[in-house]
Structure 1
Amino acid sequence: MTIKEIEKKTLALNALDKIHLVEKLLSSLDKPDPEIEQAWIKEAEERFAAYEKGELKAIPLEKVLRDIKRK
């Protein structure tokens, strides 16, 4: 089956079936990359260690939220 055939059949689906298909397709793309996951874990551990040593300061949640709202 070609992409055009799949597209034609997909567009003929009812709304609920289209939503279900879109959800399936999107979830199939949302697979974590193990290398990236490991890099983030390492980064988080290093940041936490720096925080515990006093090399990194925490920012209060209220300030972070205020700053986000201003943008």
Structure 2
Amino acid sequence: MITDFKEIENSALNLDRKNKARLADKLLQSIQGKIDPEIEQAWVDEVQKRKESLKSGDASLHSATDVLKEARKRIEK
């Protein structure tokens, strides 16, 4: 069994993207506690809604640079 932090870290960094995400989720749950299933489902639903909105063209993506530039303009008024 791996017990050295560096070994664990190296093993984790060598995981594929999906398993890294699963591991990150498990680690966060161990720190924060279990997430309310209703809240988690609400976020899943929201992500799906936004994804469909992008696919259909009802929404669009903007770079962080452009968003911050626009926000600064509005604040200065």
Structure exhibiting the larger radius of gyration computed from Cα positions: 1
TM-score of Structure 1 vs Structure 2, range by shorter chain: 0.3 to 0.5
TM-score, with length taken from structure 1? 0.46
